[in-house]
Structure formats: C-alpha cells, structure tokens
C-alpha cells in the first residue's frame, strides 16, 4: 500500500464499486427531469408513442460517474484493471440483491410495522418490499447491461487510443462512453421490459432513445471532468510515473 499506483487503483476502484452498487439501489426511483428543473414536460412523440418525457431512473445520477471512472481506470490500469473491477462490481451487486431479498422475508418487529409520519401512517414492511423488491428480469437486465457496457467501453477506448495515440483524451473517453451508454440503455430495457414484462418493442425503443439522449448530453457536459481528474492524478503520481503507468496500461 506504500506504492502510489496501488493506492490510486484502490481509491478509483472503491469509488467505482460504491457508485455502481448505489446506482442499482437508488435506481428504483423514477423521477421527472423536467419537474426537477421546474420545466414543463417536453411531451415528445416518437415511433408512434405519444407524450414521452424525460422520466428517468435515479440511477442516472451515478452511472455517468461509473463510466468516467471506467475510462480513468482504463487509462492508467488497462483492460485487465477494468475487467477485474467490472466483474467484482457485478458479483457485489448480485450479492447485495441476494441479501436484500433475504431481508425482505425476515419477520418484522411489531412496533416497527406501522410508523406515523407527516404523510400519514405507513406500513414500513410493505414499503421496504415495494422499494427493494425489484423484479428478477430488472436485476438480470441491469447486470447484463452493466457488464456488456463495460466490456464495450474498454474495447472502444483502446481502439480509439490505438488510432490517436496518447492525445485526444476527450475522444477516446467520451467516445467510448457514448457507445457503451447507447448499448447499456437498450439492453436493460429490452431484457427487463420487452422480455420480462412483454412491453411493445416500439415503446422500449422510444424510451431507450429518451434515456440515451439524456446520457449523451451528460457525457458531453462531464468531459472536462476527465481532464480535471487526469490533472490531479498526474500531480499525485508525478508526470513521469503517470506517463509510464499509461504506457503499461496500453500493453495490458
């Protein structure tokens, strides 16, 4: 742990894992982007589906950070580093879901079941089950989309880097994120709602387009953050050590 590159991998990996797991659990909430910003719904008509708006899973608050961390880890620790953390994250997410599933079937304490709040009396056990009891297909779709997106991100990142060299960080990082987020957006919806819930394919595609539009804009807006993180990592490691780590990452 005295080695700076080891500590860097630990810090980046811990942040990556924390964001991935949290994104899965807060993702149960669907929020209105327009309502949050105090705007009227956009009510877009797409593929014969009317009044589509930016109603998004709360997980979109954190997934952009997961993909930024993916690109940073990719930059300094290569394909093996990203794959190791991606499969670790998938395993931990699955473990977390299993623990929550078992917790749902624990007998609640009598005094805890009904709680009086400002919004009336709430059955806490039912609320717990409703919030954390995600369907099997949603879990399968989410995990599949996460892993496929991560592997695609790694592949596109190194393909672009091989073509452009060490320059144009924005192109390989943002470009790989845009491609992987596109796939992620549709895989999770296709598995969870087309296969799992029998939704019409046009509805799945239309919602996927709306979700990807948001992710596209966020990926572009957050591009400067990549350079900020690079700056502080170079400052922490030293430019010579950082450059050497990046060269080694290209070979991994």
Tell me: the pLDDT tens digits for 45-97?
888 888 889 888 888 888 888 888 999 999 999 889 999 999 999 999 999 98
CB 229 within 8 A of CB 74: no
Mean pLDDT of 92-105: 90
Ranges of each domain in the chain? 4-107+126-251
The Cα–Cα gap between 101 and 13 comes to 26
Q: What's the predicted TM-score (pTM) here?
A: 0.86
* pLDDT recorded at residue 1: 63
Looking at domain 4-107+126-251, its CATH architecture is Orthogonal Bundle (1.10)
Between 102 and 167, the more confident residue is 102
Collapsed DSSP state (helix, strand, coil) of residue 109:
coil
pLDDT at 185 over 80: yes
Between 74 and 120, the more confident residue is 74
Using one digit for the tens of pLDDT, what is the confidence trace for 201-241? 888 898 888 888 888 898 889 889 989 999 999 999 998 88
């Amino acid at each position: 742990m005295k080695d700076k590159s080891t500590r860097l991998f630990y810090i980046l990996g811990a942040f990556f894992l924390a964001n991935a797991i949290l994104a899965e659990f807060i993702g149960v909430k669907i929020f209105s982007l327009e309502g949050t910003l105090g705007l009227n719904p956009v009510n877009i008509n797409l593929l014969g589906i009317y009044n589509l708006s930016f109603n998004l899973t709360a997980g979109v608050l954190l997934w952009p950070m997961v993909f930024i961390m993916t690109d940073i880890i990719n930059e300094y620790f290569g394909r093996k580093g990203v794959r190791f953390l991606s499969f670790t994250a998938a395993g931990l997410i699955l473990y977390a879901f299993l623990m929550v599933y078992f917790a749902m079937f624990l007998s609640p304490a009598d005094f805890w079941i009904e709680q009086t709040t400002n919004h009336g009396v709430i059955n806490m056990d039912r609320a717990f089950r409703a919030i954390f009891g995600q369907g099997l297909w949603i879990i399968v779709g989410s995990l599949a989309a996460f892993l496929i997106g991560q592997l695609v991100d790694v592949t596109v990142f190194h393909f672009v880097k091989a073509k452009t060299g060490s320059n144009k960080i924005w192109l390989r990082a943002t470009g790989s994120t845009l491609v992987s987020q596109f796939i992620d957006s549709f895989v999770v919806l296709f598995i969870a709602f087309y296969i799992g819930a029998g939704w019409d394919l046009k509805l799945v595609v239309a919602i996927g387009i709306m979700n990807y539009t948001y992710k596209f804009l966020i990926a572009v807006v957050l591009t400067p953050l990549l350079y900020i993180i690079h700056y502080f990592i170079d400052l922490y490691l030293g430019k010579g050590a950082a450059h050497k780590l990046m060269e080694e990452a290209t070979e991994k």
